[in-house]
Amino acid sequence: MGLSSPTKAEASATEAQSQTGASQPGLRRSMEARHLVMIAMGGVIGSGLFVSSGYTIATAGPLGAVIAFLIGAVVVYLVMACLGELAVAFPVSGAFHIYAARTIGPATGFATAWLYWLCWAVALGSEFTAAGLLMQRWFPGVDVWIWCFVFATVLFTLNAISSRVFGESEFWFALIKVAAVVGLIILGGAALAGFHPLAAGDYPSFGENFATSDGLFPNGFTGVFVTCLAVFYAFSGSELIGVAAGETANPGANIPKAMRTTVIRLLIFFVGAITVIAATIPYEKVSVDESPFVTVFSMLGIPYAADIMNFVIITALLSAGNCGLFSCARMLFSLADEGHAPKAFRKLTKRGIPMVALCVSMLGGLASLISSVVAPATVYLVLVSVAGFATVGVWMSIVASHFIYRRTFVKNGGDLSTLAYKAPLFPLVPILAFALCVVSLIGIAFDPNQVAALLFGVPFVGACYAFFYFKYGRRRSLKKVVDA
Protein backbone atom coordinates (compact mmCIF):
# COMPACT_ATOMS: atom_id res chain seq x y z
CA MET A 1 0.00 0.00 0.00
CA GLY A 2 1.57 3.28 -1.07
CA LEU A 3 0.66 6.78 -0.02
CA SER A 4 2.33 8.88 -2.64
CA SER A 5 -0.30 9.23 -5.38
CA PRO A 6 -2.96 11.86 -4.68
CA THR A 7 -6.64 10.96 -4.78
CA LYS A 8 -9.20 12.95 -6.75
CA ALA A 9 -10.19 14.83 -3.59
CA GLU A 10 -6.59 15.78 -2.86
CA ALA A 11 -6.08 16.90 -6.44
CA SER A 12 -9.21 19.04 -6.15
CA ALA A 13 -7.89 20.54 -2.93
CA THR A 14 -4.54 21.33 -4.53
CA GLU A 15 -6.28 22.94 -7.48
CA ALA A 16 -8.52 24.96 -5.16
CA GLN A 17 -5.51 26.18 -3.20
CA SER A 18 -3.94 27.66 -6.31
CA GLN A 19 -7.08 29.49 -7.38
CA THR A 20 -7.70 33.01 -6.23
CA GLY A 21 -10.45 34.29 -8.51
CA ALA A 22 -14.00 34.13 -7.24
CA SER A 23 -15.22 32.92 -10.60
CA GLN A 24 -12.98 29.87 -10.65
CA PRO A 25 -14.35 26.52 -9.49
CA GLY A 26 -13.12 24.72 -6.40
CA LEU A 27 -13.53 24.93 -2.64
CA ARG A 28 -11.97 28.17 -1.40
CA ARG A 29 -9.09 28.25 1.09
CA SER A 30 -10.48 31.31 2.84
CA MET A 31 -10.49 30.38 6.54
CA GLU A 32 -7.76 31.31 8.96
CA ALA A 33 -6.67 29.70 12.24
CA ARG A 34 -9.12 31.79 14.30
CA HIS A 35 -12.01 30.51 12.15
CA LEU A 36 -10.88 26.91 12.66
CA VAL A 37 -10.65 27.36 16.43
CA MET A 38 -14.10 28.90 16.68
CA ILE A 39 -15.61 26.30 14.34
CA ALA A 40 -14.26 23.57 16.60
CA MET A 41 -15.34 25.42 19.74
CA GLY A 42 -18.74 26.10 18.21
CA GLY A 43 -19.22 22.47 17.28
CA VAL A 44 -18.17 21.29 20.74
CA ILE A 45 -19.85 23.76 23.11
CA GLY A 46 -23.49 22.79 22.80
CA SER A 47 -26.19 20.75 24.49
CA GLY A 48 -23.58 18.24 25.67
CA LEU A 49 -22.21 20.85 28.09
CA PHE A 50 -25.22 23.11 28.63
CA VAL A 51 -27.77 20.32 29.20
CA SER A 52 -26.31 16.80 29.32
CA SER A 53 -23.77 17.69 32.00
CA GLY A 54 -26.65 17.36 34.47
CA TYR A 55 -27.04 13.70 33.46
CA THR A 56 -23.31 13.15 33.94
CA ILE A 57 -23.35 14.57 37.48
CA ALA A 58 -26.51 12.63 38.37
CA THR A 59 -24.96 9.36 37.17
CA ALA A 60 -21.29 9.68 38.10
CA GLY A 61 -21.57 12.03 41.08
CA PRO A 62 -19.83 15.43 41.42
CA LEU A 63 -16.26 14.10 41.61
CA GLY A 64 -17.02 11.35 39.10
CA ALA A 65 -18.31 13.93 36.60
CA VAL A 66 -15.07 15.93 36.87
CA ILE A 67 -13.03 12.75 36.36
CA ALA A 68 -15.18 11.76 33.35
CA PHE A 69 -14.62 15.15 31.72
CA LEU A 70 -10.89 14.92 32.41
CA ILE A 71 -10.87 11.55 30.63
CA GLY A 72 -12.80 13.15 27.77
CA ALA A 73 -10.25 15.97 27.52
CA VAL A 74 -7.39 13.45 27.38
CA VAL A 75 -9.09 11.49 24.60
CA VAL A 76 -9.76 14.69 22.64
CA TYR A 77 -6.08 15.62 22.90
CA LEU A 78 -5.03 12.18 21.65
CA VAL A 79 -7.49 12.25 18.75
CA MET A 80 -6.60 15.83 17.80
CA ALA A 81 -2.89 14.97 17.77
CA CYS A 82 -3.58 12.17 15.28
CA LEU A 83 -5.98 14.35 13.30
CA GLY A 84 -3.43 17.15 13.07
CA GLU A 85 -0.88 14.99 11.29
CA LEU A 86 -3.49 13.57 8.89
CA ALA A 87 -5.12 16.94 8.16
CA VAL A 88 -1.78 18.52 7.24
CA ALA A 89 -0.82 15.51 5.10
CA PHE A 90 -4.21 15.38 3.34
CA PRO A 91 -5.79 18.90 3.54
CA VAL A 92 -9.07 18.06 1.80
CA SER A 93 -12.59 19.16 2.74
CA GLY A 94 -14.69 16.52 4.47
CA ALA A 95 -11.52 14.52 4.91
CA PHE A 96 -12.36 11.89 7.55
CA HIS A 97 -13.29 9.23 5.07
CA ILE A 98 -10.30 10.09 2.87
CA TYR A 99 -7.96 9.23 5.74
CA ALA A 100 -9.65 5.87 6.30
CA ALA A 101 -10.00 5.06 2.59
CA ARG A 102 -6.32 5.78 1.93
CA THR A 103 -4.99 3.79 4.88
CA ILE A 104 -7.50 1.20 6.16
CA GLY A 105 -9.53 0.64 2.97
CA PRO A 106 -12.21 2.34 0.86
CA ALA A 107 -15.06 0.40 2.51
CA THR A 108 -14.07 1.80 5.92
CA GLY A 109 -13.82 5.28 4.45
CA PHE A 110 -17.26 4.87 2.92
CA ALA A 111 -18.79 3.71 6.22
CA THR A 112 -17.06 6.48 8.19
CA ALA A 113 -18.33 9.22 5.89
CA TRP A 114 -21.95 8.08 5.81
CA LEU A 115 -22.01 7.48 9.56
CA TYR A 116 -20.76 11.00 10.22
CA TRP A 117 -23.09 12.53 7.63
CA LEU A 118 -26.12 10.73 9.05
CA CYS A 119 -25.20 11.80 12.58
CA TRP A 120 -25.16 15.51 11.73
CA ALA A 121 -28.05 15.42 9.25
CA VAL A 122 -30.39 13.76 11.73
CA ALA A 123 -29.15 15.91 14.60
CA LEU A 124 -30.13 19.06 12.68
CA GLY A 125 -33.79 18.26 13.30
CA SER A 126 -33.34 17.98 17.06
CA GLU A 127 -31.33 21.23 17.14
CA PHE A 128 -34.07 23.12 15.28
CA THR A 129 -36.81 21.58 17.42
CA ALA A 130 -35.09 22.37 20.71
CA ALA A 131 -34.38 25.97 19.63
CA GLY A 132 -38.03 26.38 18.56
CA LEU A 133 -39.29 25.09 21.89
CA LEU A 134 -37.02 27.48 23.79
CA MET A 135 -38.34 30.41 21.72
CA GLN A 136 -41.81 29.71 23.12
CA ARG A 137 -40.65 31.15 26.42
CA TRP A 138 -40.85 34.58 24.77
CA PHE A 139 -43.34 33.88 21.96
CA PRO A 140 -45.80 31.28 23.29
CA GLY A 141 -48.31 32.00 20.53
CA VAL A 142 -45.91 31.11 17.69
CA ASP A 143 -45.82 27.44 16.64
CA VAL A 144 -42.54 25.62 17.02
CA TRP A 145 -42.40 24.61 13.35
CA ILE A 146 -42.36 28.28 12.33
CA TRP A 147 -39.23 28.94 14.38
CA CYS A 148 -37.69 25.75 13.00
CA PHE A 149 -38.29 27.01 9.47
CA VAL A 150 -36.82 30.43 10.32
CA PHE A 151 -33.69 28.94 11.90
CA ALA A 152 -33.25 26.48 9.02
CA THR A 153 -33.48 29.33 6.50
CA VAL A 154 -30.92 31.44 8.38
CA LEU A 155 -28.38 28.62 8.69
CA PHE A 156 -28.87 27.55 5.07
CA THR A 157 -28.24 31.13 3.92
CA LEU A 158 -25.08 31.46 6.00
CA ASN A 159 -23.71 28.23 4.53
CA ALA A 160 -24.82 29.02 0.96
CA ILE A 161 -23.04 32.37 0.59
CA SER A 162 -19.42 31.31 1.09
CA SER A 163 -17.18 29.40 3.49
CA ARG A 164 -15.82 32.76 4.65
CA VAL A 165 -19.31 33.91 5.68
CA PHE A 166 -19.85 30.57 7.41
CA GLY A 167 -16.56 30.97 9.26
CA GLU A 168 -17.37 34.54 10.35
CA SER A 169 -20.90 33.65 11.49
CA GLU A 170 -19.63 30.66 13.44
CA PHE A 171 -16.92 32.83 14.98
CA TRP A 172 -19.58 35.12 16.52
CA PHE A 173 -21.98 32.28 17.37
CA ALA A 174 -19.20 30.52 19.27
CA LEU A 175 -18.02 33.74 20.92
CA ILE A 176 -21.38 34.10 22.71
CA LYS A 177 -21.15 30.55 24.06
CA VAL A 178 -17.53 30.97 25.12
CA ALA A 179 -18.47 34.18 26.98
CA ALA A 180 -21.19 32.28 28.86
CA VAL A 181 -18.79 29.49 29.86
CA VAL A 182 -16.11 31.98 30.94
CA GLY A 183 -18.73 33.89 32.92
CA LEU A 184 -19.81 30.71 34.69
CA ILE A 185 -16.24 29.78 35.60
CA ILE A 186 -15.28 33.27 36.86
CA LEU A 187 -18.50 34.15 38.70
CA GLY A 188 -19.13 30.61 39.94
CA GLY A 189 -15.52 30.22 41.03
CA ALA A 190 -15.62 33.55 42.90
CA ALA A 191 -18.85 32.50 44.64
CA LEU A 192 -17.31 29.19 45.73
CA ALA A 193 -14.41 31.20 47.16
CA GLY A 194 -16.88 33.25 49.23
CA PHE A 195 -17.73 36.22 47.00
CA HIS A 196 -21.47 36.01 46.22
CA PRO A 197 -23.12 39.35 47.16
CA LEU A 198 -26.36 38.67 45.26
CA ALA A 199 -26.92 35.06 46.33
CA ALA A 200 -29.75 34.38 48.75
CA GLY A 201 -29.09 32.13 51.76
CA ASP A 202 -26.08 29.91 52.32
CA TYR A 203 -23.80 29.28 49.35
CA PRO A 204 -21.63 26.15 49.26
CA SER A 205 -17.86 26.44 49.55
CA PHE A 206 -15.54 24.67 47.15
CA GLY A 207 -15.41 20.91 47.77
CA GLU A 208 -18.39 20.89 50.12
CA ASN A 209 -20.70 19.07 47.65
CA PHE A 210 -18.16 16.51 46.48
CA ALA A 211 -18.57 14.33 49.56
CA THR A 212 -22.18 13.18 49.03
CA SER A 213 -24.25 11.19 51.50
CA ASP A 214 -23.47 8.12 49.37
CA GLY A 215 -19.72 8.77 49.24
CA LEU A 216 -17.40 10.27 46.65
CA PHE A 217 -18.79 7.93 43.97
CA PRO A 218 -22.50 7.45 44.77
CA ASN A 219 -22.98 4.90 41.97
CA GLY A 220 -19.51 3.43 42.23
CA PHE A 221 -16.84 3.90 39.59
CA THR A 222 -19.27 2.21 37.20
CA GLY A 223 -21.12 5.53 37.11
CA VAL A 224 -18.02 7.18 35.67
CA PHE A 225 -17.54 4.30 33.26
CA VAL A 226 -21.03 4.47 31.71
CA THR A 227 -20.97 8.26 31.33
CA CYS A 228 -17.84 8.26 29.16
CA LEU A 229 -19.85 8.12 25.92
CA ALA A 230 -22.05 11.03 27.03
CA VAL A 231 -18.90 13.01 27.85
CA PHE A 232 -17.33 12.11 24.52
CA TYR A 233 -20.54 13.32 22.87
CA ALA A 234 -20.13 16.59 24.78
CA PHE A 235 -16.66 16.92 23.20
CA SER A 236 -17.91 15.98 19.72
CA GLY A 237 -17.33 18.66 17.13
CA SER A 238 -13.63 19.17 17.85
CA GLU A 239 -12.95 17.02 14.79
CA LEU A 240 -14.61 19.65 12.56
CA ILE A 241 -11.15 21.15 12.03
CA GLY A 242 -10.46 18.13 9.84
CA VAL A 243 -13.66 18.73 7.85
CA ALA A 244 -12.66 22.35 7.17
CA ALA A 245 -9.04 21.51 6.32
CA GLY A 246 -9.66 21.79 2.59
CA GLU A 247 -10.86 25.38 2.94
CA THR A 248 -8.04 26.57 5.18
CA ALA A 249 -5.33 28.97 4.06
CA ASN A 250 -1.82 27.62 4.73
CA PRO A 251 -2.97 24.35 6.36
CA GLY A 252 0.56 23.36 7.36
CA ALA A 253 0.72 26.28 9.81
CA ASN A 254 -2.92 27.00 10.65
CA ILE A 255 -4.17 23.46 11.35
CA PRO A 256 -1.58 22.54 14.05
CA LYS A 257 -2.01 25.99 15.62
CA ALA A 258 -5.79 25.57 15.70
CA MET A 259 -5.45 22.05 17.14
CA ARG A 260 -3.28 23.16 20.05
CA THR A 261 -5.42 26.19 20.82
CA THR A 262 -8.63 24.17 20.71
CA VAL A 263 -7.39 21.43 23.04
CA ILE A 264 -6.13 23.94 25.63
CA ARG A 265 -9.36 25.94 25.58
CA LEU A 266 -11.54 22.84 25.77
CA LEU A 267 -9.59 21.60 28.78
CA ILE A 268 -10.02 24.93 30.58
CA PHE A 269 -13.64 25.54 29.58
CA PHE A 270 -15.09 22.04 29.96
CA VAL A 271 -13.23 20.85 33.04
CA GLY A 272 -13.51 24.30 34.63
CA ALA A 273 -17.24 24.54 33.95
CA ILE A 274 -18.08 21.03 35.16
CA THR A 275 -15.99 21.59 38.31
CA VAL A 276 -17.89 24.79 39.15
CA ILE A 277 -21.26 23.17 38.41
CA ALA A 278 -20.51 20.03 40.44
CA ALA A 279 -19.20 22.07 43.37
CA THR A 280 -22.18 24.46 43.33
CA ILE A 281 -25.29 22.32 42.80
CA PRO A 282 -25.94 19.76 45.57
CA TYR A 283 -25.83 16.23 44.14
CA GLU A 284 -29.26 15.40 45.55
CA LYS A 285 -30.80 18.41 43.81
CA VAL A 286 -29.10 18.20 40.43
CA SER A 287 -31.66 18.17 37.65
CA VAL A 288 -31.37 16.56 34.25
CA ASP A 289 -34.44 18.53 33.11
CA GLU A 290 -32.95 21.99 33.63
CA SER A 291 -29.66 23.29 32.31
CA PRO A 292 -27.08 23.32 35.12
CA PHE A 293 -25.98 26.72 33.77
CA VAL A 294 -29.42 28.15 34.50
CA THR A 295 -29.32 26.63 38.01
CA VAL A 296 -25.89 28.08 38.82
CA PHE A 297 -26.67 31.58 37.52
CA SER A 298 -29.97 31.54 39.44
CA MET A 299 -28.17 30.51 42.64
CA LEU A 300 -25.77 33.42 42.11
CA GLY A 301 -28.78 35.75 42.17
CA ILE A 302 -28.02 37.25 38.76
CA PRO A 303 -31.06 39.14 37.42
CA TYR A 304 -32.82 37.60 34.41
CA ALA A 305 -30.52 34.57 34.62
CA ALA A 306 -33.08 32.23 33.06
CA ASP A 307 -33.69 34.54 30.09
CA ILE A 308 -29.97 35.13 29.54
CA MET A 309 -29.16 31.44 29.54
CA ASN A 310 -32.21 30.68 27.37
CA PHE A 311 -30.72 32.98 24.74
CA VAL A 312 -27.25 31.45 25.12
CA ILE A 313 -28.57 27.89 24.79
CA ILE A 314 -30.54 28.82 21.66
CA THR A 315 -27.32 30.28 20.26
CA ALA A 316 -25.51 27.08 21.20
CA LEU A 317 -28.07 24.97 19.36
CA LEU A 318 -27.94 27.14 16.25
CA SER A 319 -24.14 27.12 16.34
CA ALA A 320 -24.10 23.33 16.50
CA GLY A 321 -26.61 23.21 13.64
CA ASN A 322 -24.48 25.65 11.65
CA CYS A 323 -21.40 23.43 12.04
CA GLY A 324 -23.44 20.30 11.36
CA LEU A 325 -24.83 21.61 8.08
CA PHE A 326 -21.34 22.66 6.96
CA SER A 327 -19.98 19.21 7.84
CA CYS A 328 -22.80 17.35 6.06
CA ALA A 329 -22.34 19.24 2.80
CA ARG A 330 -18.55 18.74 2.79
CA MET A 331 -18.90 15.03 3.51
CA LEU A 332 -21.23 14.56 0.53
CA PHE A 333 -18.90 16.62 -1.68
CA SER A 334 -15.92 14.51 -0.64
CA LEU A 335 -17.81 11.24 -1.15
CA ALA A 336 -18.88 12.33 -4.64
CA ASP A 337 -15.30 13.37 -5.44
CA GLU A 338 -14.22 9.81 -4.68
CA GLY A 339 -17.03 8.34 -6.81
CA HIS A 340 -18.95 6.96 -3.81
CA ALA A 341 -21.93 9.32 -4.09
CA PRO A 342 -23.87 10.88 -7.00
CA LYS A 343 -21.76 13.21 -9.15
CA ALA A 344 -24.28 16.02 -8.58
CA PHE A 345 -22.84 16.48 -5.10
CA ARG A 346 -19.57 17.66 -6.69
CA LYS A 347 -21.20 20.67 -8.34
CA LEU A 348 -19.97 23.95 -6.87
CA THR A 349 -21.26 27.48 -7.14
CA LYS A 350 -19.03 30.30 -8.37
CA ARG A 351 -18.20 30.94 -4.72
CA GLY A 352 -17.07 27.35 -4.22
CA ILE A 353 -20.12 26.08 -2.29
CA PRO A 354 -21.34 22.47 -2.88
CA MET A 355 -24.95 23.65 -3.24
CA VAL A 356 -26.60 20.33 -4.15
CA ALA A 357 -24.89 18.61 -1.23
CA LEU A 358 -25.96 21.49 1.01
CA CYS A 359 -29.60 21.19 -0.08
CA VAL A 360 -29.70 17.42 0.40
CA SER A 361 -28.16 17.77 3.85
CA MET A 362 -30.79 20.33 4.82
CA LEU A 363 -33.53 17.97 3.58
CA GLY A 364 -32.07 15.28 5.83
CA GLY A 365 -32.32 17.65 8.77
CA LEU A 366 -35.90 18.60 7.94
CA ALA A 367 -36.86 14.92 7.62
CA SER A 368 -35.52 14.22 11.09
CA LEU A 369 -37.35 17.34 12.27
CA ILE A 370 -40.64 15.71 11.31
CA SER A 371 -39.71 12.58 13.24
CA SER A 372 -38.72 14.54 16.32
CA VAL A 373 -42.04 16.40 16.29
CA VAL A 374 -44.07 13.22 15.86
CA ALA A 375 -42.30 11.28 18.61
CA PRO A 376 -40.05 13.72 20.49
CA ALA A 377 -39.53 11.68 23.67
CA THR A 378 -38.23 8.57 21.93
CA VAL A 379 -36.55 10.10 18.88
CA TYR A 380 -34.52 12.67 20.82
CA LEU A 381 -32.94 10.07 23.14
CA VAL A 382 -32.07 7.85 20.19
CA LEU A 383 -30.54 10.76 18.28
CA VAL A 384 -28.33 11.77 21.20
CA SER A 385 -27.06 8.25 21.81
CA VAL A 386 -26.47 7.59 18.11
CA ALA A 387 -24.59 10.90 17.82
CA GLY A 388 -22.27 9.76 20.59
CA PHE A 389 -21.74 6.40 18.89
CA ALA A 390 -21.01 8.10 15.56
CA THR A 391 -18.54 10.48 17.19
CA VAL A 392 -16.61 7.67 18.84
CA GLY A 393 -16.71 5.66 15.61
CA VAL A 394 -15.20 8.56 13.66
CA TRP A 395 -12.55 9.11 16.34
CA MET A 396 -11.59 5.42 16.16
CA SER A 397 -11.33 5.72 12.37
CA ILE A 398 -9.09 8.80 12.70
CA VAL A 399 -6.63 7.26 15.17
CA ALA A 400 -6.53 3.94 13.30
CA SER A 401 -5.87 5.82 10.05
CA HIS A 402 -3.04 7.76 11.69
CA PHE A 403 -1.48 4.58 13.10
CA ILE A 404 -1.47 2.86 9.70
CA TYR A 405 -0.43 6.03 7.84
CA ARG A 406 2.64 6.64 10.02
CA ARG A 407 3.74 2.98 9.91
CA THR A 408 3.33 2.86 6.12
CA PHE A 409 5.11 6.20 5.67
CA VAL A 410 8.16 4.96 7.57
CA LYS A 411 8.02 1.53 5.91
CA ASN A 412 8.12 3.17 2.48
CA GLY A 413 11.28 5.07 3.42
CA GLY A 414 9.65 8.35 4.39
CA ASP A 415 11.66 10.87 6.40
CA LEU A 416 9.75 11.97 9.54
CA SER A 417 11.67 15.25 9.59
CA THR A 418 9.91 16.25 6.36
CA LEU A 419 6.46 16.09 7.95
CA ALA A 420 5.04 19.55 8.64
CA TYR A 421 3.39 18.21 11.80
CA LYS A 422 4.03 14.97 13.73
CA ALA A 423 1.82 13.55 16.46
CA PRO A 424 3.94 12.97 19.58
CA LEU A 425 4.70 9.66 21.33
CA PHE A 426 3.86 7.40 18.42
CA PRO A 427 2.51 4.68 18.60
CA LEU A 428 1.27 5.23 22.18
CA VAL A 429 -1.06 8.11 21.28
CA PRO A 430 -3.21 6.35 18.64
CA ILE A 431 -3.26 3.03 20.53
CA LEU A 432 -4.35 4.64 23.81
CA ALA A 433 -7.00 6.75 22.05
CA PHE A 434 -8.43 3.71 20.26
CA ALA A 435 -8.53 1.68 23.48
CA LEU A 436 -10.35 4.41 25.43
CA CYS A 437 -12.93 4.76 22.64
CA VAL A 438 -13.58 1.00 22.72
CA VAL A 439 -14.02 1.17 26.50
CA SER A 440 -16.66 3.89 26.11
CA LEU A 441 -18.64 1.75 23.66
CA ILE A 442 -18.49 -1.22 26.03
CA GLY A 443 -19.71 1.00 28.84
CA ILE A 444 -22.95 2.05 27.13
CA ALA A 445 -24.03 -1.59 26.92
CA PHE A 446 -24.64 -1.31 30.67
CA ASP A 447 -26.69 1.90 30.41
CA PRO A 448 -30.33 1.45 29.28
CA ASN A 449 -30.46 5.16 28.38
CA GLN A 450 -27.67 4.80 25.81
CA VAL A 451 -27.77 1.19 24.62
CA ALA A 452 -29.91 2.29 21.63
CA ALA A 453 -26.67 3.61 20.11
CA LEU A 454 -25.31 0.08 19.80
CA LEU A 455 -28.61 -1.39 18.62
CA PHE A 456 -28.82 1.14 15.78
CA GLY A 457 -25.20 2.10 15.16
CA VAL A 458 -23.62 -1.34 14.77
CA PRO A 459 -26.19 -2.56 12.17
CA PHE A 460 -25.89 0.76 10.30
CA VAL A 461 -22.12 0.43 10.01
CA GLY A 462 -22.53 -3.18 8.92
CA ALA A 463 -25.06 -2.10 6.28
CA CYS A 464 -22.60 0.49 4.94
CA TYR A 465 -19.92 -2.16 4.50
CA ALA A 466 -22.39 -4.56 2.88
CA PHE A 467 -23.65 -1.88 0.48
CA PHE A 468 -20.12 -0.89 -0.50
CA TYR A 469 -19.06 -4.44 -1.36
CA PHE A 470 -22.35 -5.09 -3.17
CA LYS A 471 -22.15 -1.84 -5.15
CA TYR A 472 -18.43 -1.66 -5.95
CA GLY A 473 -17.20 -5.19 -5.41
CA ARG A 474 -14.35 -6.44 -3.25
CA ARG A 475 -11.95 -6.72 -6.20
CA ARG A 476 -12.38 -3.05 -7.10
CA SER A 477 -12.04 -2.04 -3.46
CA LEU A 478 -8.73 -3.83 -3.10
CA LYS A 479 -7.47 -2.33 -6.33
CA LYS A 480 -8.26 1.21 -5.10
CA VAL A 481 -6.25 0.57 -1.94
CA VAL A 482 -3.23 -0.63 -3.92
CA ASP A 483 -3.51 2.25 -6.39
CA ALA A 484 -3.75 4.75 -3.54
Domains and CATH numbers, the chain: 31-483 (1.20.1740.10)
Residue 141 has pLDDT above 50, yes or no: yes
Structure confidence at residue 474 (pLDDT): 55
Structure confidence at residue 294 (pLDDT): 81
Q: How far apart are CA 261 and CA 392, in angstroms?
A: 22
Q: How far apart are CA 43 and CA 459, in angstroms?
A: 26
pTM over 0.85: no
Structure confidence at residue 252 (pLDDT): 62
Which residue did the predictor score with more confidence, 367 or 483? Answer: 367
Structure confidence at residue 431 (pLDDT): 96
Structure confidence at residue 434 (pLDDT): 95
CA atoms within a 13 Å half-sphere pointing along the CA-CB vector of 62: 23
Provide the 8-state DSSP code for 30: -
Structure confidence at residue 41 (pLDDT): 62
Structure confidence at residue 397 (pLDDT): 92
Which residue did the predictor score with more confidence, 112 or 385? Answer: 112
Nearest-CA neighbor of 410 among 115, 124, 134, 85? 85
In the structure, what pLDDT confidence band is assigned to residue 213 with cuts at 50, 70 and 90?
confident
Range name among 61-70, 169-178, 335-344, 427-436 with the lowest pLDDT average: 169-178
End-to-end CA distance of the chain: 7
Residue 477 has pLDDT above 80, yes or no: no
Cβ 394 vs Cβ 112: under 8 Å: yes
State mean pLDDT over 363-388. Answer: 65
Percent pLDDT > 70 in the chain is: 77
- Exposure string over 252-264, b if 16+ CB within 10 A, otherwise e: eebbbbbbbbbbe
Q: How far apart are CA 74 and CA 97, in angstroms?
A: 23
Which residue did the predictor score with more confidence, 35 or 479? Answer: 35
In the structure, what pLDDT confidence band is assigned to residue 396 with cuts at 50, 70 and 90?
very high
Structure confidence at residue 290 (pLDDT): 67
Cβ 383 vs Cβ 123: under 8 Å: yes
Residue 299 has pLDDT above 80, yes or no: yes
In the structure, what pLDDT confidence band is assigned to residue 404 with cuts at 50, 70 and 90?
very high
Percent pLDDT > 90 in the chain is: 9
What sign has the CA pseudo-torsion 155, 156, 158, 159?
A: positive
State mean pLDDT over 63-75. Answer: 89
In the structure, what pLDDT confidence band is assigned to residue 20 with cuts at 50, 70 and 90?
very low
AA identity, residue 364: G
In the structure, what pLDDT confidence band is assigned to residue 376 with cuts at 50, 70 and 90?
low
State mean pLDDT over 291-307. Answer: 83
Structure confidence at residue 36 (pLDDT): 58
State mean pLDDT over 9-31. Answer: 41
Provide the 8-state DSSP code for 224: H
Residue 402 has pLDDT above 90, yes or no: yes
DSSP structure string for 244-262: TGGGBSSHHHHHHHHHHHH
Residue 16 has pLDDT above 50, yes or no: no
Structure confidence at residue 475 (pLDDT): 45
Residue 23 has pLDDT above 50, yes or no: no
- Work out the mean pLDDT of the chain and round it to a whole number: 76
**How many Cβ atoms from other residues are within 10 Å of residue 200's Cβ?**
10
Distances (CA, A) of 138 to 3, 223, 266, 314: 56, 37, 32, 12
In the structure, what pLDDT confidence band is assigned to residue 18 with cuts at 50, 70 and 90?
very low
Residue 138 has pLDDT above 50, yes or no: yes
In the structure, what pLDDT confidence band is assigned to residue 354 with cuts at 50, 70 and 90?
confident
Nearest-CA neighbor of 122 among 453, 412, 465, 471? 453
